[in-house]
Chain A
């Protein structure tokens, strides 16, 4: 796989000496107002992402990963609502845009490849017609031939033949359909691409192919990629930084190397340990308990009922974010303690 530091040709447009964050998420709060109460799906969530960077967001189902993706796209539907915070792409604050401008910003600035994207294609429309639709609704006054050419180039960049343009979705395999969705995602060269479990139903060989495709187009248009998933193995192979999500908070954000050599949050450790490897045959190490319901979160740290290193303070006090000098953030009382022992003040 290519590494991030090989300079892609198109990236020369952006030759900023300092990597500037292309995406900034500040104090994002999202809640679902259900009949049985308010479920806080995203709780004061912040992170930044540089151009060309790959961030992985991992967590169990129900941890708020997909809500985060939808909130960034401003596609949260009732009873959900963005209660506060900002999503900035470049200098545009997406949360302040009116609906029409936001519709334009989707795909132009920020693209979303949804979970099971291959089932999102219209079965009775040709691939090409669906791609052209996407372009027309965002770019006015582009001649038809230019639009078609744009679509063809997008198909080529995901390694599909030009003939796919005239095909129907059922004529393509699952992996190919997934690549069509990636092609649609990059049609307008967005700065941020959010891929929500792009490979969850694909086999390993196709998975590798799809991930390599995403990586190649990322380099080509120098976009930042957010990969959402629950498979730590895929994260190790693909991303630069990993964010671990639990009950609506990013409990640990660190580089992939730090995450796999020295995970700090007990939940990150558990996630890495539950993956099978070839050394411990027949050992099944799940994470005990279930992900908590957002309607009745446990007091203190939300992870404490399942935590192996639980302390008294975890049951009563909500842990705050600790930022380390290299930008790594952890939300855990253990870290606080370590720091206090290290430098008594």
Chain B
């Protein structure tokens, strides 16, 4: 069985201070497997500070895990060198949240596309490079003649974000890490960017890790979902089950706060408990905000398997079969 990507008990702790070490656990014991033969879209959802972006940075090899390993096609990514590293850089691509920050304002937007072409020697001539750029831009629904030669400030956020997707497409990656790709884009354009991403998975066989706080788009694009809160997995499983029938109190709060475009479906009555400073360390990360918190939540809850494709880390489901954190991938359908 070939695995595209394997995360083995990965944790990431940020520490600062020289004498008194203060540390923040950004990601706690995550294990995950993505198969090479079955490209899928996996959503990682959570609010700011949940460790979503840390996960993206780890997967891209920008930072190294404190404990655990990330294995890409059989090789630990922190040990890649030379040609292998270059291949990894090409095969794992990213689309970031802010479509404004990734452009250098002094260059025309072509720069973003020509650099990877040169770097990875994708084209033999200028004309071929231009063809490749046109092709990629058309694939994301842009008119090349409107884009080539323009400066970033002349384009809208949606256009810029689609250029980012086009750049990723140009390199024909195996894995795309999309970190909040649509959160700064108009609602009317979201649909087309998401459709581009889904087509990438369906037609080009690219696996996508879609990182977001927006569960509605996650529902539409992904097959499986992991809900993170302060670095811990709260709930995971099939997107259909988790979103329509959330079990963990945190997932419930998230789904309750979605502004539905429906007058009958008002923002829920569930009151938001604001985060208290100095939360219990070591216990359930959601303890201080949970309406159903019990005394025993001060110790971390294991994962309980609620259904073949649903698992939650919460003592409310104590009767269910307990599972190991390393088995997480079993509950994620592809």
Contact = CB atoms under 8 A, between A and B. Distances in A.
Contacts of B49: 173
Residue with the highest number of chain A CB atoms closer than 10 Å, among B159, B240, B261, B272: B261
Given A203-B47, A203-B213, A208-B272, A284 B188 contact: no
A236 B220 contact: no
A235 B266 CA distance: 11
A34 B187 CA distance: 28
Contact of A271 (B46, B157, B187, B195): B187
A234 B259 contact: yes
B267 interface: yes
Interface stretch (B24-32, B107-115, B122-130, B250-258): B250-258
Contact of A237 (B217, B221, B260): B260
Nearest to A199: B259
Contact of B254 (A205, A209, A274, A290): A205
B259 A203 contact: no
A174 B48 contact: yes
Interface in A34-60: 60
B243 A286 contact: no
Nearest to B183: A201
Interface stretch (A68-76, A225-233, A326-334): A225-233
A137 B219 CA distance: 49
A139 interface: no
A173 B186 contact: no
A286 B214 contact: no
A278 to B, nearest CB: 7
A61 B258 contact: no
A319 interface: no
Contact of B187 (A207, A232, A236): A232
Contact of B274 (A159, A233, A278): A159
Contacts of B327: none
Interface in A180-227: 200-209, 212
Contacts of A60: 186, 188-189
Given A232-B187, A233-B258, A204 B213 contact: yes
A203 B48 CA distance: 7
B260 A236 contact: yes
Contacts of B67: none
B156 A236 contact: no
Given A232-B261, A237-B266, A274 B272 contact: no
A267 to B, nearest CB: 10
B49 to A, nearest CB: 7
A337 interface: no
B306 interface: no
A16 to B, nearest CB: 29
Contact of A231 (B259, B263, B272): B259
B192 interface: yes
Contacts of B262: 236, 260, 277
Interface string B144-182: 000000000000111100000000000000000000000
A256 interface: yes
Contacts of A204: 47, 213-215, 254, 257-259
B195 A286 contact: yes
A121 to B, nearest CB: 17
Interface string B185-200: 0111111101100100
Residue with the highest number of chain B CB atoms closer than 10 Å, among A202, A233, A235, A256: A233
A296 B321 CA distance: 64
A204 B274 CA distance: 14
A8 interface: no
A61 B158 contact: yes
A139 to B, nearest CB: 31
B188 A286 contact: yes
Interface string A284-324: 11110011000000000000000000000000000000000
Contacts of B266: 1, 237
B188 A287 contact: yes
Nearest to B194: A284
Given A203-B213, A284-B220, A277 B187 contact: no
A126 B35 CA distance: 50
A235 to B, nearest CB: 8
A272 interface: yes
A276 B219 CA distance: 9
A236 B259 contact: yes
A275 B261 CA distance: 7
Contacts of A284: 191-192, 194-195, 198, 220
B15 interface: no
B260 A61 contact: no
Contacts of B267: 1, 208, 237
A270 interface: yes
A237 B259 contact: yes
B257 A205 contact: yes
A62 interface: yes
9 contacts: A174-B48, A212-B272, A230-B186, A233-B261, A260-B262, A271-B188, A274-B187, A274-B190, A284-B194
5 nearest CB pairs, A to B: A286-B191, A203-B213, A233-B259, A203-B47, A284-B191
Interface of A: 1, 60-62, 159, 173-175, 200-209, 212, 230-238, 256-257, 260-261, 270-272, 274-278, 281-287, 290-291
